[in-house]
Chain A
Amino acid sequence: MDPQLAVWLVARATGVAAYIALCLSILSGIALRTSVLDFLAKNRALRSLHDFMTWVWIPLGALHVTALLLDRTARITPLDVVVPFQVSYAPTAIGLGTLSFDLVVIITLTSWLRRRMDDRVWRWIHRSSYLVFVTMFVHALLSGTDFSSPFISSISWSAALGIGLLAASRIVFGRLPE
């Protein structure tokens, strides 16, 4: 297989898989503070899943970004990975991906440093996960090559619907006492 073609296929596949892994991570995170998944598992198991999913989406997201850096057609530079809205041909669509990548890195790093941080600050940073999901979803919608396919589209919309329902249930029913 042509290396450029392989890189392009890896970029597309890992993009979708990283999106799903992040959705599962966010879903388990919201479920920790609601009771909607009590029928499925206890909070300790959900917390364990939430932590575990970090180690699933990190390599997938890193592969997605690395493959796009190596892809000559995509023309993504290392600066575009960090600084959003810099790409010449689709600044918004790709910039939203950069923005969600930056935010998710900050959220992950602050989660690892939680014990050294003020709890209130950590919570507000962690709540930006909702923003991460919105920017990531719009990024996938505007730039996803395979988003028009029934297979990818059904998975993406189902994940978005699940997160939307859980987020709405948290807003309506509030937060469970710790």
Chain B
Amino acid sequence: MPSWALKLSALFITLFVLAGSFDYARDHVKNANAPLQPPVADRPAASAAPPTPTPGITIPPLLTTRPGQRPPTTTPGARLTLAPGVQSATLPPLTFTHTS
């Protein structure tokens, strides 16, 4: 095989791998099985205990039933259950209850 054919083949293989891996990375932007998972942001308080999920928060009914109106079919006071992976934030709440 001549030299130019070897070079061309090697260049083609490299470009094929480059294009293929770019295409694969574009289709799989996030890989949960990736060995490295660098921290996205610095933790505000490394010594603080991690927040625990609060399952079973009971939300009071927001809708009231008018006289003569049929009650809603959904159970009032539905329970909001956080998934195991969801954690409550340690930041102060964004809402407040008092009015000015």
Contacts and interface: CB of A to CB of B under 8 A. Distances in A.
Interface of A: 5, 8-10, 12-14, 16-17, 20-21, 24, 28, 40-41, 44-46, 48-49, 52-53, 56, 60, 73-75, 89-90, 93-94, 141-149, 151-152, 155
A147 B36 CA distance: 11
Interface in B1-56: 1-3, 6-7, 10-11, 13-15, 17-22, 24-26, 28-29, 31, 33-36, 38-40
Interface of B: 1-3, 6-7, 10-11, 13-15, 17-22, 24-26, 28-29, 31, 33-36, 38-40
Given A21-B14, A56-B11, A146-B31, A73 B22 contact: no
Contact of B21 (A5, A17, A24, A52): A17
B3 A45 contact: yes
A9 B36 contact: no
Q: Majority SS of interface residues in chain B?
A: helix
10 contacts: A16-B17, A16-B21, A17-B17, A40-B1, A48-B6, A56-B14, A142-B36, A143-B36, A144-B35, A145-B25
A140 to B, nearest CB: 10
A147 to B, nearest CB: 7
A86 to B, nearest CB: 14
A146 B24 CA distance: 8
Contacts of B35: 93, 141-145, 147
